[in-house]
């Protein structure tokens, strides 16, 4: 069994020099493949590469990707914001003259928010490329971890679905062997219907009797539905064994299961057969829920 789940989670931390980062990837069900990236300011340039790497590991599902960046402040340096200082000094001189206040001190100016800033050394293009490469390498590792988790969950999912297919096959067999489908049972229902028609009318209408007989026989014939249910079970097992994404195909098979079970119930004229049909619908509904998780 090689199916893959669409749900999973992965996280990874990395560092280079004074820079640290933290990747998180969350995968949930989706009709197609979609990625939502939350990258810090200044890292927009790596987004195309992030999407490309994600697409190599995941074929279907909605991915929520986030990157957090941190720096060791011990390696940062203080610098004066010359633009802010150029605006503050004339204002300070003007206020001193108008108010007769003491001259401003260096300590006072430096305490004004925005005058001093934490700065980083200028980074070369080679250093920036190395930083981006290291961050993307960790993202690729996180995607591989996510894919492994999705595969492991897919194995559990496959076992559940295999059990549901077995149950559907068993219930379909019970419907096939239901005593209500025997020739004697059909004959008895036909005789009962004829008796009711005869009691309800003083005249014998051969055409009406023929129509009722045909209707009863047609409603009792669920062989085509049974054949298709058995065929869908085999189709489901083949999909479970596939090493390709089969989520959409399995969704179609689940819909076909549901259609045949509904028809079986609508055709049923016997309580025991209706009970089997309702049990089939319950298992098929559970199957359809599980199938929504398949890639």
Cα-based distances in Å from 251 to 58, 150, 234: 19, 18, 15
Candidates 28, 26, 33; CA nearest to 10 is 26
Through-space distance between the first and last CA atoms of the chain, rounded to whole angstroms: 13
Cα-based distances in Å from 77 to 20, 72, 107, 183: 18, 11, 18, 94
In this prediction, residue 198 carries a pLDDT of 65
- The secondary structure of 89-156 as a DSSP string is HHHHHHHHHHHTPPPPPHHHHHTSTTTEEEE-PPPPHHHHHHHHHHHHHHHHHHHHHHHHHHHHHHHH
Candidates 222, 281, 238, 239; CA nearest to 257 is 281
Q: Which residues pair with 161 in a beta bridge?
A: none
Q: Which domains does the chain have, with CATH numbers?
A: 8-74+124-150 (3.30.230.10), 77-119 (no CATH), 153-291 (1.20.140)
Calculate the CA 64 to chain-centre distance: 11
Q: Indicate the pTM of the whole model.
A: 0.71
In this prediction, residue 262 carries a pLDDT of 95
In this prediction, residue 124 carries a pLDDT of 84
CA 184 – CA 190 distance, rounded (Å): 10
In this prediction, residue 218 carries a pLDDT of 67
In this prediction, residue 82 carries a pLDDT of 82
Q: pLDDT tens track of the chain, all 295 residues?
A: 578 999 999 999 999 888 899 999 999 999 899 999 999 988 999 999 999 999 999 999 999 999 999 976 555 567 778 888 788 888 888 877 888 778 778 888 778 877 777 655 567 889 889 999 999 999 999 999 999 999 999 999 999 999 999 999 999 999 998 876 656 666 666 666 666 666 666 665 667 666 766 666 666 678 899 999 999 999 999 999 998 889 999 999 999 999 999 999 988 877 888 999 999 999 999 999 999 999 9
In this prediction, residue 193 carries a pLDDT of 64
Burial class (CB in 10 A: 0-12, 13-18, 19+), 150: buried
């Amino acid at each position: 069994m090689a199916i893959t789940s669409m749900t999973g989670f992965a996280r990874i931390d990395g560092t280079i020099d004074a820079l640290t980062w933290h990747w998180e990837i969350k995968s949930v069900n989706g009709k197609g493949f979609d990625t939502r990236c939350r990258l810090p300011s200044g890292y927009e340039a790596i987004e195309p590469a992030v999407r490309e790497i994600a697409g190599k590991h995941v074929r279907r599902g909605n991915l929520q990707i986030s990157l957090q960046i941190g720096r060791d402040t011990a390696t940062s340096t203080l610098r004066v914001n010359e633009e802010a200082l150029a605006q503050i000094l004339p204002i300070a001189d003007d206020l001193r003259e108008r108010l007769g206040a003491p001259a401003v001190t260096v300590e006072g100016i430096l305490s004004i928010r925005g005058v001093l800033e934490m700065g980083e050394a200028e980074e070369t293009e080679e250093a920036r490329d190395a930083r981006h490469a290291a961050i993307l390498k960790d993202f690729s590792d996180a995607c591989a971890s996510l894919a492994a988790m999705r595969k492991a969950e897919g194995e559990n999912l496959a076992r559940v679905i295999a059990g549901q297919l077995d149950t559907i096959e068993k219930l379909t067999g019970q419907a096939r062997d239901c005593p209500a489908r025997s020739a004697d049972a059909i004959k008895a229902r036909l005789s009962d219907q004829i008796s009711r028609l005869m009691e309800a009318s003083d005249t014998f209408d051969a055409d009406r009797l023929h129509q009722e007989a045909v209707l009863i026989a047609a409603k009792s014939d669920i062989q085509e539905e049974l054949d298709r249910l058995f065929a869908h079970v085999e189709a489901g097992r083949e999909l479970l064994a596939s090493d390709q994404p089969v989520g959409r195909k399995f969704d179609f098979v689940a819909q076909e299961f549901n259609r045949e079970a509904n028809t079986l119930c609508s055709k049923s004229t016997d309580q025991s057969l209706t009970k089997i049909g309702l049990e089939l619908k319950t298992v098929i509904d559970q199957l359809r829920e599980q199938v929504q998780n398949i890639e």
